[in-house]
Amino acid sequence: MTQLQARPAASNPGDDAQVPDEQLVVARKWHPWRWVISIATLVVVAQFLHGFATNPGWDWGTFAQYFTAQSVLSALWLTIQLTFWGTLIGFALGIALAVARLSNNLVLQVISWFYIWAFRSIPLIVQLLFWFNIAYLYQTLSVGIPFGPSFFEFDVNNVISGSTAAIVGLALHQAAYSAEIVRAGIISVDQGQLEASAALGIPKRREFFKIVLPQAMRGILPNAANEVISLFKGTSIVSVMAIAELFYQVQVIYGRSGRVVPLLMVATVWYIILTSILSVVQYYVERHYAKGAVRTIELTPVQKLRKKLAEITLAPRGATR
């Protein structure tokens, strides 16, 4: 809220009309409670940071020792692989499920709806344990004619390892959520766009990739990025399968050393770093697909910094202040 100060008293009745508006002084309203709350918040944050730096229980020496240890980095790489394959396969299958739900084929609609309903209803940990123990149900896998002779047979224990079971479980679970995200993005596109495309005789394939998809991506990307980040953190659940991903490896180390807090901080900081990287990628991808929706694209933080530096004018040599 701002308030305008009263105009200065005029000596003559007609002088007041001659004062330009640019000379009016704007007085800002004082908000004391805002300053009180801000100062109290800063004090609490300062106390937390002080304890964060000085409390010996954090044991930053142990944290530094294991943060870049080979066992931790190997586990981190496995976590990244699980996230990558779970995301790639999950979204590929999710796109197919979304297209099936939007198709005019009743069979495909029912199958895709049932898949999404089932995999969103079952907890992820149950799905992972099921695929990890799939050999109890099927000892061999065969490829051949349905209900007829088989051409090839595979031992399930040799084909589906612990990591493979984790990827399958994560991907199938992710596909159910990805399908709904993609479907919501597609149906958010204005139907007038499709009608105009049909009136112009644009083929369906070109219509989807050139008209529907670019507009749908603006609604798909934020939720899809959230799902990828959730999947990245959700890989810690595979620790119940004794797979040496990041969280499991940290548990093994602090189980031997007894240094629980610093080892948990190792995992926490790595999760924060990679989540921040994913957030930066999300920002630039969203910015790319916003080109057709906004008149002016917002500058990136780097561009804003360059602009600020360019606006700084240095005083000429020999000039005095």
Q: What pLDDT shows up at residue 4?
A: 46
Residue 318 pLDDT: 52
pLDDT at residue 2, as a whole number: 44
Contacts of 218 by beta carbon, 8 Å cutoff, 6+ apart: 185, 286, 289, 290, 293
Residues in the chain: 321
Whole-number pLDDT of residue 195? 81
DSSP output for 156-192: HHHHS-HHHHHHHHHHHHHHHHHHHHHHHHHHTS-HH
Helix (H, G, I), strand (E, B) or coil at 21: helix
The series of mean pLDDT values per 10 residues for the chain, 321 residues long, is 47 55 70 88 90 84 90 93 93 92 90 94 90 80 72 73 87 93 87 81 81 82 89 88 88 88 92 92 82 70 79 57 47
Tokens of 14: 């007609």
Gap between the Cα atoms of 137 and 92, Å rounded: 27
Say what the pLDDT of residue 24 is. Answer: 67
